[in-house]
Every structure is written in structure tokens, then in C-alpha cells.
Amino acid sequence: MRYPLLRIAPVLLALAAARAPALRGQDIRVHGTTTTQYVQLRPIAFDSAANNDTGAFVSLPATYAAPFTQDLEVSAWGLGIEGLRAYALVRGRAALGSGLIWPESDEHFQTMYAYLELERPHYLLRGGRQQRASGLGWYAFDGLTASWRPLAALRIEGYGGRGLARASLDAPNSSAITSLDPLQQDHGTILLGASLWAAPSPRSSFSAIYQRELLSDRSGLVSERAAFDGRLGVGSRVVLAGSADADVARQQWGKARISATVLLGNGNSVQLEAFQYRPTLDLSTIWGVFSPESHYGVSATVNVAAARDVSLSGAFTYRRWQPLSSGSPFLVDVGNDQKEATAGVHVRRGAYTIDGDYHLELGFGGDQSGGDLRAAWSPGGGWHAGVQTTAFQQTDMFRVAGGTVYGLGADFGTALDRRVGLKVDLMRYFQRRQTGSTGLDWNQTRASVTFDWTIGADADRVGSYQ
Amino acid sequence: MIARAASALLALSALLAGAWAPRSVRPRPAAAARFATDTFPHARHARLFTTCAACHAGIATGDTADVWPSPQLCAGCHNGDLARPVSWTPPQRRATNLTFDHVPHVAMFEAMDSGGANCQKCHASADSLPYMEVGRANPARCVSCHGQGAPSHLAQESCQPCHATLHDAAALSVETIRAFPKPPSHDSSWILHHQTAAAGPTCAVCHAQQFCAACHVNARAVQAIRDLPADDREAELVRTLTFAYPRPPSHEASDWTRRHGVVARAGVVECANCHAQESCIGCHRVQERVPAIAALPRRAAGGAFGVNLAGLKPADHLPDQLLHHREMAAGGTASCATCHRPSYCTTCHAAAKAPAFHGPNFVLRHATQAYAAEAECAACHQTQVFCHDCHQALGRSSATTPVSAGYHDKQPGWLFGHGGVARRAIETCASCHAQDFCLRCHSATSGQHIDPHGAGFNPSVASKNRAMCLICHTTGIPAQ
């Protein structure tokens, strides 16, 4: 608990908002979501006596994880200064009597957001814990964001503060990370960035972002990245989109994508896309020195409203890797490409919906074929009930662990009140082993219960607090 | 005896008079239809009664007991001998919101001495009709003198001089109120410009507060509505009615969706007639960020619902929007935050449970997707905390497993061939192996001294983070 004040900040903010004298337009909203899961999994262990004493991984008895998560979101506004708002989203976690620890279950308290925000017509200041989603991915930091809007469709932002590990709410040198990787750096980071966003028309927008992550002792860089994103509406029916991110430190392009979407009206659309993928890895780890290679791909997606109540979708993606640059004589049937095809159907008739989809992957990494079918009844008022079946078959490319799994489950949701909802789902999977010489077992049960409530200012449209 | 005989003769003469009456004085079909609600055949009694006051003497005097003839008077003839018996009792006074008083009207017509039967002025469909061709008063004749714009000094601009307000007409039933005729002014465009008429007292004749509050979410703030009395009958009536909000002409403009913010910022007084805060939150989900929304009234229990805009979604949010929203989201708070609050993003990006787009049992299925990098796992999942932690707990990344023995048992030569796969999918390596696992072989100063750098390695990174290079090059970083 290196920053106790930060952890109790949301509570202090809520108390301050609750105790403050009522002002014009003052209000507070508290939203809670309680989620409990039951996840059966089967650990494996290396058995040196297995496989004629050559050793192999074998399945251990099924164990389960029961992660419990409590999210609490507080939003308070009308705090005496026009445009001042306090916002916090905190999460409590626990593992309910499980023999298996679910990721992050031992992080009993996390502050996902906790900031004060002052918004005026032409600028915004936000201080505290915040997360930033951009073309660079998902970064969280404790610091300040300043945004200037000289025009309604032009925004220039700068941000900076104590950095947290990428896609995480833990500091890079926190025990949560260093305990899993002894070579993890022992310094915190400083995150600095700037972005420009412009929307010259309602259907067109462009953004550019530059971000630099430094070790807190200024001894080196963790990452230096930039990203460009754009959408351009051509007429009323065509949207061109493109994005690219660059690893400035390594002078390499990372991911890039360009697509054209044609909106044919009445729910019909066609999208064509070409892309490149190369991961951007922190300079503070050794992963980047292995010289990750790019792969390229193209995809086509079609959405068709076949009838008033029926919509169909289909997509095909092709990925191509460079030929293996090392060790290829020792690898069997790895190949240089991957094909992925999906097809889906959605039928809605009154309160009843049927969704079905099929997914096929062939190529690098493994083969997988699977389909899901779901029927649901949603009479309104937040009630729904559904049944779901699934079946998939997969063969891994790098280990002997193929099999076919069937699943059958049900889910149920109800609005106990306009502001209180309950959702329950249960799924049981049955395995028919195909190869499985190492005896991995996928017979498993999954379940979850989610309880959602809101108090204070009217939250949102009924049944969808999002 | 003489009285009975006189009555019989009187009745007989009346009958004969009726039978021989010229056809021109018989009620014509149109007139009969117009006065269909009047079941008494006045015209057939015209020869019998020479004045209206013979039966309705109280009309002129205001004596309510004499407004109707007594049943005994009818039975004088309708006794079974002279004429068939009839069963008739004076009608009960109807519940009405009319404030009409016969006495001054009779006095006025008598003073005018305009000739003819004064009652005909209102109770006949035309002045030229014969005596006793009458029925219930024809409203058109009232309006011909008292209606709005009538060419008479008696014309009224309001309904109220003749009709009591709904509140005062307490005897009217809900069904009677429901059956109120719709005035000609209330045409299809009326709803869009009724505001100007609502300033007068006329509305209160047919409407109470609850009628307006069924649509107006700002009913408590509109003076014209507040001036109306409340009425429980109206509340009961509106519960059974369905209202549709009209779309004002300004909202028909093609750029209205984009431009409406400018209008709202200038003031939401007009907006508040139809829109509650909840109307806007269908799109602007972060209500506290938009002062104009905060200025709108809230939807109140039992009050108007307001225009329901829930479910509106931008046209470019395609069905696979969840997987292809990067370019839109790149603007950060600039665009998404108009509609979505941070917790919306965390329902997937830091979800308490697997988001729906991963599909059922993604835990078992994710390996192939991860190898092919169908999505960038690291965009949402911190490798060590999320991937490595779980893989280790499940035995898939045991640090004690010999390097030669393997999890990758489908590739007999894995140890010697893994480099190419690692360059294609280095993130999957990191999901199971800690960095020091690789250094068992790949290090400049220990292990097997195997060079990890591939063809595209850029040695200039050494200047960016020397500590990272010194992990392997413990004795010094080679010159570039």
C-alpha cells in the first residue's frame, strides 16, 4: 500500500459529495456491480514417469476458482464550481474458497479511476487516477490531463503522471508483477503524452498521439510510441478507416490497418480490410530483442439483412507470415498462413431471438472449428431467459491436446427494479477426447451471478447502465 | 264524466289533426335524424298543444318542477281508451358542463318579439320550420350567435361563458369527458402550435392539469399548465390514452442530430416540453458532462415519459463494432465519452468476467487466437499479471520443468526450432515464460551464449535503455 491516500480517495470523494450542501444541479450517482464466478479448470503437471518414462504433462483433478468482484462507481457533480465533477470506479476482489487462484484475485482492492474533472466549454482538466484508451492500447496513470478545445471538432490534449504497467492498474515495479518475473524492472515509470483529435465532419475524424514512458529515475525509456487513426466518410455510404502505430524507439511500425466499409442501408454492409501486425514490446523487457516479425492479412466482412427479422453475417480473414527464419527443419507442419472464416445468423421475432454462428480457423497456431447456438426470450422490463449450446473441436499445432467439447447452458436475467438487476448463467462442458495422449480433460462447469444496482441520480436508460 | 268525455274529444281531435296534417309538416328524414335524441314526437302533438308552455311552463319561469309535463297529463289521453297507454316519466337532469340558463334567453326573445315561437329559435334546425318541429337544442344554432367569429355581438372568444370548466362540472363521468367532441381547431397540426391558444381559459373546459402533464415533462414549470386545476377523472382518462410526440419541423433537418447541441446550449426551455433528461441519456450517457441535459427536468413517477430516444445508435456502429472500434476510440474522451462513461469501457477492457465477444469457454479456445494474434491480447491484458499468473497456477508454465521436456510435445524438435515461432508470436512465449527462462540459453555471458537477435534487430535501442541490454551483456554492450 504505497499510496494509501490514492486508495481511499474515492471514499473521501463520495463522503465529500454527500456532506456538501446541496447546490443547484448537484447530484450523485452510485452504481455497484457484484460478480461471482465459478470456473472449473484442470491444472496439469509434469510427470517424469509418464509416456514410457520420457515424461509428459498429465491432468490433475479438477479444481475451481470462484472469483468475487465488487465494482463501485461513484459520480458526483454540481460541487459548487460549474463543470466540476468527481468520478471514481473502484474494484474489490476476493477468491471465495477456491483451491485455484484466479488472475488478480489476490489484488483485494484496486482503484480503476479516481479523478476530479473540471470541464468548461473550451477546456478540460482532469487530475487523479485515469485510464487512457487510444491507438496505443490501454494505459493507466496517476496524473493530470489537460484538454483544450478551440473548436468543437478540434481537441488538443496533454497528459502525464506516474505510469502504471500497460493494460494494468499495477505499477511496473509492484510485487504483483515482479513476483512473476524476477527480471522485471525495479523502477516505476513516468508517462507523458500528447494527442490531437479533429473531426472535420460528423463521419470523419482523425487523431494522432505520441506517448513516452520513462523510468522514474530517468535512466532509460520504457517505450516511445506514436499512433495515427482516421475515419473518413465518403458520401453517406462509405467509410474509409485507417490506423497505424509506430514503435518510435525501435523505429518500426507496429500494427496497421486500412479498411473500407460500404453501408448499403437497411442493415446491409460490406467491409474490406488489409492489416499488418507486429507487437510493440517495452524496452524494459528482453522480449523485443528477439526481433518479432510482422504478419499481414486481408479480410472481408458482409452483413446482410435477409428479411425484416433476419440478419446474416459472414467474414473471411487470411493471414500470412514470413517463412520461418530459424530452426524450420525441426518444426512440423507449421505453415506460413492462417485462414479464418465465420458465419452468423440473427433472428428476432417479437420477444424471441435466435443467434447462431460458426467459426473455422486453419493454419498457424492450430485448427479450430466451433459453433454456438443461442435462443433467448426477452419479454422486456429487463427480463430474459436463454439457452445456449456450443461445440468446438480443436487441434493445437505445438502440443498433443486435441479434442471435441460440447457445452450446454442457460442464462437468466431479471430487473428486480428499474435500478436493480440480476443475471445468472451456467454452462457445462463435456469432452469427447480425440487424441489427448497426455490425458488433458476438458469436462468442466462454469457459472456466474451478477448483481447490479444504482442509487442516486437517474442512472441511464432502463436496463442498460453503460 | 264530462271531464273524461272532454279529454276523449280532445285526444280524438288531436289524433285526427295529426292524421290529416299536410305531408309538408311531417318531420323530414334529415330533421328527424338531427333530432334523433329527442324521442318525443312533438310534431304529432302540434294541434293539441298550441304553446310550448302548455307542457314546459317552468322553462320561462325557472321553476324546475314545471320544466317537464307530468305523467298524469299524458295519461289524460294515453289511457288505453282514447290512445294507447304510454309510460313516461320526466327525465333526470343530465350531467352537463353547460351553464346555459333558459330564463334570460326566453325573456330576451320575448323582448325582441321577433315573431314566431321563441323556442324554435334554438330547438328547431331552422327558423322556417313549422311550429313544434323541434327537438333537443341544436348546438349549431348556439354557435351561430355565440361561437368564435360569429357575426353577432353575442359572439364569444372562449367556451367558458356557456361551458363550465371540467373542474366545476364535477358530475361528468370519465366516459362523458372521453366523448367530448374534438373542436375543429384541434387538427393534425394543432399539437405543434397549441401553445399560443393555451394562454387563454378555454382549455380548462375540457382539460385538466393531468392531460397536459401526460406529455409535458416540464408540466410543473409551465404556467399555463399550473393554472389548470387538477382533476382525478382526467388522470384516470389519460392512463388509458396513448400519446405520440410530434416531430417539430426543426427536427426534420438532415443535420439536426449534429446541430441540436447548439440549440440546446442556447436554452432548453422549449426542449423541456417533450424531453426529459432520460431522453438525452439514450445517447449522451454522461449526463453530468452536458449542462444542457442537467437543466432538463427528470422523468417523474406518474409523469410524462418524454420522448423516448433509447436505442438510437450512430449509423456507423456496425454489428461488429465491438471488434472494430479502434479508430473511433482513438479520440479518447473526444468522441466516445459523449455517450459512454468509463465504466462502459471497463465492462470489456477490465471486465470482472469474460466479455461476450470472446464467446463461450474462451479459456479453452484462446490458444489458437493468441498464436495468430487475431487481437492484441496485451491491449487489455497485462502479460505477467493476467496470462502468466493463470498459466503458472494451472501448471502450464512451471519454472521447474526441464527445458528439454516438453509441453510442446507435438513438435519433437521444438527446442531447436522454437526460434521462428517465437519471432512470429513472442507474446505467447511471454504468457508462460518469465524472462529469465530464455536467458538459460540466450545470453552473451551465460548459458549457451545463443544470440537472440534476429534480422530486423535495431542495436540503437541500447541507447534508449541500457539496463535492459546489460541483463545479457553484463560485461559491456558491444559497439554498434
Contact between A366 and B382 using a beta-carbon 8 Å cutoff: no
Q: Number of CB pairs < 8 Å for A and B?
A: 431
Domain that holds residue B416: 359-438
Contact between B299 and A181 using a beta-carbon 8 Å cutoff: no
Instruction: For chain B, say whether A362 makes contact (Cβ under 8 Å).
Output: no
**Cα(A318)–Cα(A334) distance, integer angstroms:** 16
Residue closest to A287 by CA, chosen among B435, B181, B138, B275: B435
Instruction: Please write the tens of the pLDDT for every residue from A71-112.
Output: 999 988 877 777 788 999 999 999 887 777 788 888 899 999
Task: Quote the minimal CA–CA distance from B348 to chain A in Å.
Answer: 11
Contact between B334 and A332 using a beta-carbon 8 Å cutoff: no
Instruction: Please write the tens of the pLDDT for every residue from B438-447.
Output: 888 888 887 7
Instruction: Please write the tens of the pLDDT for every residue from B105-147.
Output: 888 888 876 555 678 888 887 777 888 888 888 778 788 888 7
Joined grid coordinates for residue A254: 507496429
Query: B473 to chain A: which residues are within 8 Å by CB?
Result: none
A270 within domain boundaries: no
Residue closest to A91 by CA, chosen among A10, A173, A167, A37: A10
Query: B400 to chain A: which residues are within 8 Å by CB?
Result: 46
Contact between A199 and B331 using a beta-carbon 8 Å cutoff: yes
CB B444 within 8 Å of CB B437: no
B200 within domain boundaries: no
CB A4 within 8 Å of CB B357: no
Residue B131 Cα distances to B18, B25, B341, angstroms:
13, 9, 79
Higher pLDDT, A4 or A438: A4
Instruction: For chain B, say whether A212 makes contact (Cβ under 8 Å).
Output: no
B235 within domain boundaries: no
Name the residue among A104, A242, A458 with its Cβ closest to that of B278: A458
Query: A256 to chain B: which residues are within 8 Å by CB?
Result: none
CB B418 within 8 Å of CB B408: yes
Q: What is the mean pLDDT of residues A431-459?
A: 74
Contact between A365 and B330 using a beta-carbon 8 Å cutoff: no
A175 within domain boundaries: yes
**Cα(B465)–Cα(B459) distance, integer angstroms:** 11
Q: What is the mean pLDDT of residues A114-128?
A: 89
**Cα(B344)–Cα(A165) distance, integer angstroms:** 21
Confidence of residue B20 (pLDDT cuts 50, 70, 90): very low
**Cα(B291)–Cα(B280) distance, integer angstroms:** 12
Look at residue B362 in the predicted model and tell me its pLDDT.
84
B186 within domain boundaries: no
Nearest CA in chain A to B283: A461
Look at residue A188 in the predicted model and tell me its pLDDT.
92
Task: Quote the minimal CA–CA distance from A4 to chain B in Å.
Answer: 22
B399 within domain boundaries: yes
Nearest CA in chain B to A238: B316
Q: What is the mean pLDDT of residues B265-272?
A: 88
Q: Amino acid identity of B457?
A: F
Which value does ipTM take for this structure?
0.84
Residues 19-58 of A with CB under 8 A from B: 25, 27, 31, 33, 35, 37, 39, 41-46, 48, 54-57
Instruction: For chain A, say whether B270 makes contact (Cβ under 8 Å).
Output: no
Residue closest to A358 by CA, chosen among A375, A339, A372: A372
Residue closest to B442 by CA, chosen among B471, B421, B462, B465: B471
Look at residue B145 in the predicted model and tell me its pLDDT.
82
Instruction: For chain A, say whether B178 makes contact (Cβ under 8 Å).
Output: no
Instruction: Please write the tens of the pLDDT for every residue from A140-152.
Output: 999 999 999 888 7
Instruction: Give CA torsion, residues B257, B260, B262, B263, to 10 deg.
Output: 170
Instruction: For chain A, say whether B193 makes contact (Cβ under 8 Å).
Output: no
B88 within domain boundaries: yes
Task: Quote the minimal CA–CA distance from B268 to chain A in Å.
Answer: 15
Query: A71 to chain B: which residues are within 8 Å by CB?
Result: 343, 346, 352
Contact between A409 and B360 using a beta-carbon 8 Å cutoff: yes
Domain that holds residue A201: 121-265+278-292
**Cα(B348)–Cα(B335) distance, integer angstroms:** 18
Look at residue A278 in the predicted model and tell me its pLDDT.
92
Q: What is the mean pLDDT of residues B31-54?
A: 72
Contact between A134 and B364 using a beta-carbon 8 Å cutoff: no
CB B148 within 8 Å of CB B156: yes
Confidence of residue B81 (pLDDT cuts 50, 70, 90): confident
3-state secondary structure chain B: CHHHHHHHHHHHHHHHHHHHCCHHHCCCHHHHHHCCCCCCCHHHHCCCCCCHHHCCHHHHHCCHHHCCCCHHHHHCCCCCCCCCCCCCCCCCCCCCCECCCHHHHHHHHHHHCCCCCCCHHHHCCCCCCCCCCCCCCCHHHHHHHHCCCCCCCCCCCCCCCCECCCCCCCCCCHHHHHCCCCCCCCCCCHHHHHHHHCCCCCHHHHCCHHHHHCCCCCHHHCHHHHHCCCCHHHHHHHHCCCCCCCCCHHHHCCCHHHHHHHHHHHCCCCHHHCCCHHHHHCCCCCHHHCHHHHCCCCCCCCCCCCCCCCCCCCCCCCCCCCCCCHHHHCCHHHCHHHCCCHHHHHHHHCCCCCCHHHCCCHHHHHHHHHHHCCCCHHHCCCHHHHHHHHHHHCCCCCCCCCCCCCCCCCCCCHHHHHHHHHHHCHHHHHCCCCHHHHCCCCCCCCCCCCCCCCCCCCHHHHHCCHHHHHCCCCCCCCCC
Confidence of residue B401 (pLDDT cuts 50, 70, 90): low
Contact between A227 and B330 using a beta-carbon 8 Å cutoff: yes
Query: B439 to chain A: which residues are within 8 Å by CB?
Result: 183, 286
Cα diameter, chain B: 150
Higher pLDDT, B127 or A290: A290
B128 within domain boundaries: yes
Q: What is the mean pLDDT of residues B205-228?
A: 90
Instruction: Please write the tens of the pLDDT for every residue from A206-257.
Output: 999 999 999 999 999 999 999 999 989 888 889 899 999 999 999 999 999 9
When divided into structural domains, chain B yields a total of 2
A133 within domain boundaries: yes
**Cα(B202)–Cα(B406) distance, integer angstroms:** 90
Joined grid coordinates for residue A320: 500470412
Compute the mean pLDDT over every residue in chain B, rounded to the nearest whole number.
79
Residue closest to B410 by CA, chosen among A256, A141, A326, A366: A366
B447 within domain boundaries: no
Residue closest to A206 by CA, chosen among A153, A139, A272: A153
Nearest CA in chain B to A31: B343
Instruction: For chain B, say whether A181 makes contact (Cβ under 8 Å).
Output: yes
Task: Quote the minimal CA–CA distance from B295 to chain A in Å.
Answer: 8
CB A427 within 8 Å of CB A409: yes
Mention every residue, 6+ apart, whose C-beta is less than 8 A from residue A188. Answer: A162, A163, A171, A172, A173, A215, A216
Look at residue B32 in the predicted model and tell me its pLDDT.
40
A399, pLDDT greater than 80: no
The b/e string for B299-335 (b: 16+ C-beta within 10 A; e otherwise) is beeebbebbeeeeeeebbebebeeebebbbbbbbbbb
When divided into structural domains, chain A yields a total of 1
**Cα(A130)–Cα(A26) distance, integer angstroms:** 23
B243 within domain boundaries: no
Per DSSP, which regions of A350-419 are E strands?
352-363, 366-380, 383-396, 403-417
Query: B363 to chain A: which residues are within 8 Å by CB?
Result: 39, 41
Residues 365-394 of B with CB under 8 A from A: 365, 367-374, 376, 378-382, 384-386, 388-390, 392-394
**Cα(B115)–Cα(B133) distance, integer angstroms:** 16
Instruction: For chain B, say whether A66 makes contact (Cβ under 8 Å).
Output: no
Mention every residue, 6+ apart, whose C-beta is less than 8 A from residue A382. Answer: A413, A414, A415, A418, A421, A462, A463
Confidence of residue B22 (pLDDT cuts 50, 70, 90): very low
Query: B393 to chain A: which residues are within 8 Å by CB?
Result: 43, 100-101
Residue with cell string 432502463: A462
A466, pLDDT greater than 50: no
Contact between A25 and B329 using a beta-carbon 8 Å cutoff: no
Task: Quote the minimal CA–CA distance from B474 to chain A in Å.
Answer: 14
The domain boundary, picked from B113, B146, B179, lies at B146
- Least confident range from A16-25, A344-353, B251-260, B308-317: namely A16-25
Residue closest to B128 by CA, chosen among B56, B25, B34, B44: B25
Name the residue among B281, B365, B390 with its Cβ closest to that of A368: B365
Higher pLDDT, B324 or A318: A318
Query: B318 to chain A: which residues are within 8 Å by CB?
Result: 261, 269, 271, 303
The b/e string for A216-230 (b: 16+ C-beta within 10 A; e otherwise) is beeebbbbbbbbbbb
Instruction: Please write the tens of the pLDDT for every residue from A414-426.
Output: 988 778 889 999 9
